[in-house]
Structure 1
């Protein structure tokens, strides 16, 4: 889901639901410039991004 840009000529910022990015265990791997990060949804429904 993407949000519409405000009327200032700005580009919209992509918006993603964390639960759609993660597997059934609440985990996802994200690769950025060759580095792998782990995104985790905790039992308290918080997000943690670790290297």
Structure 2
């Protein structure tokens, strides 16, 4: 019996909304701490655009964060 990983269907890049996150001036400072709740906004996953690439930040069932390209 093999376990299959569910397939995640993402919208094409042009259709994905880019949501700005308002961070306080303290959070914008180098070495500042940003709460994961502020990034995930109640979701289990968020897409992050960085340097023309899309990264996926996931909150797992084991309460870990995983960042993948």
List alignment gaps of at least 5 residues for structure 1: 4-10
2:31 corresponds in structure 1 to: 13
Q: Which has the higher strand share?
A: 1
Q: Which has the higher contact order (CA 8 A, sep 6+)?
A: 1
Structure 1 runs (4+) deviating above 4 angstroms are none
List alignment gaps of at least 5 residues for structure 2: 1-23
- TM-score normalised by structure 2 residue count: 0.52
Alignment of 1:1-51 (within 5 A): 2=26, 12-51=30-69
Give the superposed CA RMSD.
Answer: 2.2
1:2-43 Cα offsets, whole Å, 9 max, x none, are 48xxxxxxx641211112201433111111100000000101
- TM-score normalised by structure 1 residue count: 0.66
Aligned residues: 44
